[in-house]
Amino acid sequence: MKIERLSSGVNVIDELLDGGVEHTVVTNFYGPPGSGKTNIGLLFTLSCLKQGNVVYIDTENGFSTERFFQIGGIKEDLKKILYENPGSFKEQAKVIQKVKKSNPKLIVVDSIVSLYRLEINKENFTEVNKELASQLAILSFIAKEKKIPVIITNQVYSVNSDEIELSGRDIVKYWSKCLVELKKVDDNKRLIILRKHRSLPEGRKAEFEITGSGIEKAKFRIF
């Protein structure tokens, strides 16, 4: 059976993912601030608008109409984006529940854990982690039921000088059928690495640059 994929419209990303993000599953792009997570979410959003509406859940106020226009979007496209901007983890839960009643061609949550991190403490640790798992389970269910891709972005924190960990740890790893790590190499270059996939080899990687008009394969430079 052929696996349906949504293209990002960017060769370097689509080549890594063998054509784009898969329908029916949750794909997780994770990395530090400035690594390209929101840019990738916007590129997939723009690409999907040719097929129908997109639900964009923006928990970090990262959605920029200016940037959207820079990568090729137009004002008419904004009418097809069902934009949600929850201000708390509880509001995020309500928004995700509401999405079950809509009929989008793509869901983007940027990021799944920023409000979770503000909410969690030693006293409510178990309860908040259960809620995160519940939200991810709903998104996974929607992806399967509606046969659409779901993209989430994830923040990270340092374990030591050589190792990072995803916020939400095993919970987000379990529900994310595809894990893609983003790293900052320098001011210009970013590294994208496939860490988990159902059918593609782990460890595939490529370098890209964030440009004025989107994302491009990194160019060789002599300094």
pLDDT tens sequence across 144-169: 999 999 999 999 987 665 677 888 88
What pLDDT score was predicted for residue 163? 74
Ranges of the chain with pLDDT below 50? 222-223
Do the domain assignments include residue 158?
Answer: yes
Domain that residue 151 falls in? 5-217
User: What is the reported pTM?
Assistant: 0.94
DSSP conformation letters of the chain:
-PPPEE--S-HHHHHHTTSSEETTSEEEEE-STTSSHHHHHHHHHHHHTTTS-EEEEESSS---HHHHHHTT--HHHHTTEEEE--SSHHHHHHHHHHHTTS--SEEEEE-SSHHHHHH--TTTHHHHHHHHHHHHHHHHHHHHHHT--EEEEE-EEEEETTEEEETTHHHHHHH-SEEEEEEE-SSSEEEEEEEE-SSS-TT-EEEEEEETTEEEEPPP---
Do the domain assignments include residue 66?
Answer: yes
Q: What does the mean pLDDT of the chain come to?
A: 93
What pLDDT score was predicted for residue 223? 39
Do the domain assignments include residue 222?
Answer: no
What pLDDT score was predicted for residue 164? 74
What pLDDT score was predicted for residue 159? 65
Do the domain assignments include residue 223?
Answer: no
Do the domain assignments include residue 182?
Answer: yes
What pLDDT score was predicted for residue 222? 40
What pLDDT score was predicted for residue 220? 55
Q: Write the CATH number for 84.
A: 3.40.50.300
Domain count, the chain: 1
Do the domain assignments include residue 115?
Answer: yes
